[in-house]
Homo-oligomer: A and B are copies of this chain.
């Protein structure tokens, strides 16, 4: 019986499966999008789900998340273990632990505890399907979180809840950190960064005030010297992410 089990007796513990699930977010076409895979096996066969998989016996949680991310997208992630970690403007994606989901009935087959990770990545080509997934796609989170689920059906398991938590984390975190740069390529313009904020928050920001704010925050942006006209209009200065990870004072999210 459980009640008779000593709380730390290793020979009599209730067995759990531990998985990682990934909320991979990017900004495409002015919209915040999440990576979904189509499940090729029951349960929820044919449903869209977050990428993820079992943690192996000899690997850490962040390590498992990194591995799944690489298998699924080819991305190299910098995990941010304690606090800051990622170097400025590096090519990979930002990865951080989101939360852990362990409702006893969240998987119909067995007791599964899933550690969710949040990944913020620059725009990528449409991912290949890999492993046991029969398809993969970028889906705008506005469709996923609105009243109308994808293709008329919700996500598998509790992945809709996990996705909502991940999106909320991303939305609030770009307020007080420089994480929005994780959605940009290594070199980007102030306007491109502003479009990231607009897509993630679903708002329109004043270009002049935004420019003043980000260029006036020490350590947020480093001028790289070049300019670009890839967005049309007047040539814009190119920047890379500065070393600052915390924005003080924060970027204020306007209310509706």
What DSSP secondary structure best describes chain A's contact surface?
A: loop
The 8 Å CB contact of A16, one of B17, B100, B109, B131, is: B17
CB-CB under 8 A for A113 and B7, given A17-B16, A54-B14, A56-B2: no
Does any Cβ of B come within 8 Å of A97's Cβ?
yes
A55 on the interface (CB 8 Å rule)? yes
CB proximity to B under 8 Å, residues A151-198: 165
A89 and B109 alpha carbons, distance in the complex (Å): 41
Tally of contact residues, A, Cβ under 8 A:
40
A50 within 8 A of B: no
Are B55 and A102 interface neighbours, CB within 8 A? yes
Of A22-30, A58-66, A137-145, the one contacting chain B is A58-66
* Minimum Cβ distance to chain B for residue A106 (Å): 9
Residues of B close to A110: CB separation below 8 A = 10, 13
When C-beta atoms are compared, the residue in chain B nearest to A253 turns out to be B248
A52 CB contacts on chain B under 8 angstroms: 7
Known: A13-B17, A15-B15. A7 touches B131 (CB 8 A): yes
> CB within 8 Å of B: which residues of A?
2, 5-8, 10, 13-18, 41, 52-61, 82, 97, 99-104, 107, 109-111, 113, 115, 131-132, 165
Lowest 10 A-B CB distances belong to which pairs? A7-B53, A13-B17, A10-B109, A61-B102, A14-B57, A15-B15, A100-B100, A16-B18, A10-B110, A100-B115
